[in-house]
Structure 1
Amino acid sequence: MPKFQSMSSMEFWCVEIKGGEPLKVEIGCDKILHLAQASLHALKKDHGDVSVSLFLKTGNQVVVLGNLCIGKQHQVFVDLVFEKEIELSHNWKDGSVHFCGYKFYKQLATTNKRPARSLCVKEMLEAGFENKRKKDYVLKAVPFFPNEIIFEILSWLPAEYLLKFKCVCKEWYYLIQDSNFIKVHFSRTPLLMVYDEEKRVGFGISGTIQETFIRVDHISGVILEKGDLSHKYRIRNPITRQILFLPDPCNGTVEVSIYRCQSTYEFKLVSIYRDEKRSSMQGFEIFTIDRDDEWRPLKLPSSQVCRMDLEMLRKTRQAIYYDDGSDDSDLYSDVYCLDVESECFFINVLPQGLFSDSNKVLALDWDGCLAYAEIVEEKLNVIILEDFRKHKWSQRKIIVPLTFFNEIQITEDNFLAPVIFISNKLYFLILEDKLFVYDIQTRQITERKPVSWEDKSLYTTRHSLVTFKGMQPEKIPQGVDLA
């Protein structure tokens, strides 16, 4: 009799069939049977290289599922589904064969309810690769997994695996390249803290001249780089190893950043340039990947914005922030915000009287928002610009207890600076060459890393499958490590 193991809406089933004893497998009116694989049972050395044929009968039709060989192939994947009773058998007189798979309710194929991912993904992937290699073993049938479930399972897998799985079949190839799949997959990839080389040797836009590309910025798994000889900008996806060279921004460009729009998922680049005729003036250009052919100038809100100090510039996932530079105070009251998605400027006024010493106030990225912070008596006082479009600041200062002062031994000469806050973790720099991560919930230091700004830098990222029109495979000069 078949053995069943309940898995809520799915059941694992396995039967042992002896030679000369065909077995009928009943399915039930409300279920679908998945036949995943067959394997030899009770192998013995004295059996030799015996070939075993597997048979399946449905209705009046008998088909050969495949062949097993004791000395060579003990297992075969078939990946078939059935709604009616089937009969399984084989021609091995001296042993038995195990058949196994899943039973699941028909409604699972028409709803978004997913089976246990860890129980399904192995069978699904192995069946896909095995069928690719052994086409003579495959019987044409309705795929076991509905498209919604395949989408769900694949979207949780590492990007490196998905690049290999594109060769399983045509359907997977197009699914993994689908823009909606790429968005969902990216949202489910873990956040990584990468300590990597700032420079990468490669070929310029001509494809023949070798030069060094320096990392300028990064977003959503792609890196913006600039060539040291040609001064050309390019975008590189380190996972797919594809590159896209960009049009040149205007002369006098001093800063280029890359952003991803939250609502449209478009990628934009912002260039800050200095007017050669009026050295004190600065302006902005913007470029939308896959839509623009050249950079577009942005209209500035006033002449004051052009006097910004690049040293005071701050960037988050959505905007560029900078102070007005209109007075000599250490902490400016007007904060200009360029919303990259709408390409509009907003002016926010920093509330006064919140900090005891404006000279010690630092700006940082707080979960994608601009924040100002000051360390006072083993506490971090923070005020956040929660919505720059609505000019909304946090109602009160956020106070974060810092319990590591005895451990780190903070002194007046040992400068401590918060850099970024992500997912309840604060990243601090000490003396500009040491970085540690502080969990504000557990109040523990979770990571420590040295930082050498000369050749390496630390940044957070997620692996992504994103690609752009015109991207080409990255050519690596001989002798250069791909890692």
Structure 2
Amino acid sequence: MMRYYQRRQRPTQVSSELPLEIIVEILSWLPVLSLLRFKCVCKQWFLLLQDYKFIAKHRDRTCYTLPPSYHCEWDKKPFVTVCDENFMLKCCCSGLSLEKSTTSQVCRIRNPATRKMLYLPDAQVCDAEFMDLGFNLLTGECKVSCVYFNRAQKEVGVEVITVGKDETWRPLYKQNQNWLQRGKAVLTQSCCGEDKVEWALHLPEIITEGHDMCLQIHSLDLWSECLTTTTLPQGVFVDLENLRTFLWDNRPAVADIVGGDLHILVLVDFKEHKWSQNKIIVPLKNLKVDNTILMDEIVLKRACSNTLEFQGGSQLISYDMEKKTLMVFDSLELLKKRIALLKSTLISLKEMRSEINGVQD
């Protein structure tokens, strides 16, 4: 009896430590601010919370709403000003925001979730520019591109800066305006996109040689910084000057209206100079918004899945090509919704500082 009692009282050896995979699973569901505090728990957690694979997993599982200090305004196009109202939001990527001063060329990258930011060298003074931010979660590389327009010199150029490596903007590309002066200058990904593992911008140009004309699309891969030029096949479209360019599933596409139908040819692989074998034809005859036929003043923005998007002033018009139905959105309200859905991230770039007290990360 005594032996039995002693066996029952013998302590059981149970590990008090959870397996690392269980810890990772739990942490991946927690909010950013909690995880920032947990960096101090131990060296293993500190390294884990900076690992890009964990950052990607965490971001896919959490969301945050931008602070109320973000608000949208309308000035010919929708834009967003941020917390101090002296910076406008240019674009977002992987939870990071690229912001530019409303009164100068000062630019900064900001993480709204961690309240950390990094100021960049001033961008070039120009008549207009398009700026984009890319972060590659596979490599941790972060770049900012700037496409600028100089009307005095009649040129368009591309500059880039690699965060943490470059001290100044580096020129990548220049060309005369030609096709660009008609407002169809740059084809880029959505300004509120997620990861840019594949990241390129495309600049269409009309080339004239004597009486002959051709359309070329200059595609700049912003990660490799390689330029590829693809020529539109001869005879596919008759009137090159009236062609419209836009993005079809983030690939450059060329379109024209023929007999009331929209004829589209897609550059499916710019690195291989490969165009789609057949044209995509979309009937436009019966597409009306407020009794205005879309084919009269059509501004193509992009296409994704089975949806075509048109811009009409302050309205964004979405056409479902399968159901053949139209939906009209207010561009400003749509931008607000997209921004509100941006996901938080633990990403911190080298030399980022707190926007509250300026402490370096």
Write the mapping of 1:139-218 to structure 2, written as runs, cut at 5 A.
141-143=16-18, 146-151=19-24, 155=28, 157=29, 161-167=31-37, 170=41, 174-186=47-59, 196-197=72-73, 198-200=79-81, 202=83, 212-218=86-92
Which of 134, 139, 144 is the equivalent residue of 1:264?
A: 139
Cα distance in 2 for residues equivalent to 1:154 and 1:439: 40
Look up the match of 2:3. none
User: Any idea what the Cα deviations from partners look like across 1:234-268, whole Å, max 9, x if unmatched?
Assistant: 12233333322111234447425224265635221
Conservation of the 8 A alpha-carbon contact between 1:213 and 1:228: yes
Corresponding residue for residue 195 of structure 2: none
Q: Is the 8 A contact 1:402 1:443 kept in 2?
A: no
C-alpha distance in 1 between matches for 2:48 and 2:294: 56
1:217–1:225 contact (8 Å) kept in structure 2: yes
Equivalent in the alignment of 2:329: 449
Query: In the alignment, which residue of structure 2 is the partner of 1:426?
Result: 308
2:97 corresponds to: 223
Q: Call closer, same or farther: CA 1:361–1:274 in 2, change over 3 Å.
A: closer
Secondary structure of the equivalent of 1:290? Answer: coil
Cα contact 2:128–2:149 (8 A) shared by 1: yes
Could you say what secondary structure the match of 2:247 adopts? strand
Q: Are 1:364 and 2:246 an aligned pair?
A: yes
Say if 1:436 and 1:271 are closer, same or farther in 2 by CA, change over 3 A: closer
Is 1:242–1:472's contact at 8 Å kept on the other side of the alignment? yes
1:60 corresponds to 2:10: yes
Cα-Cα RMSD: 4.2
More contact order relative to length (CA 8 Å, sep ≥ 6): 2
Amino acid at match of 1:243: M
Give the direction of change, closer, same or farther, for the CA distance of 1:283–1:361 in structure 2 (3 Å limit). Answer: closer
2:201 corresponds to 1:320: yes
Give the superposition deviation at 1:288: 0.5
TM-score by length of 1: 0.54
Q: Secondary structure of the residue that 2:154 maps to in structure 1?
A: coil
- 1:257 to 1:166, Cα distance in 2 relative to 1, 3 A: same
Could you list the per-position Cα deviations for residues 139-164 of structure 1 after superposition, in whole angstroms to 9, with x for gaps in the alignment?
Answer: x7021xx4335545655x5xx83443
CA 1:178–1:348 in 2, change beyond 3 Å: closer, same or farther?
same
| Matched AA of 2:109 | I
CA contact (8 A) 1:196 1:457 kept: yes
Q: For residues 16-74 of structure 1, what are the alpha-carbon distances to aligned partners after superposition, in whole Å with 9 as ceiling and x for unaligned?
A: xxxxxxxxxxxxxxxxxxxxxxxxxxxxxxxxxxxxxxxxx996138xxxxxxxxxxxx
Aligned residue pair count: 321
Amino acid at match of 2:236: L
CA distance, structure 1, for counterparts of residue 50 and residue 317 of structure 2: 37
Identical pairs, percent: 30
Unpaired runs of 5+ residues, structure 1, are 1-56, 63-80, 83-139, 204-210, 477-483
1:444 deviates by 4.6
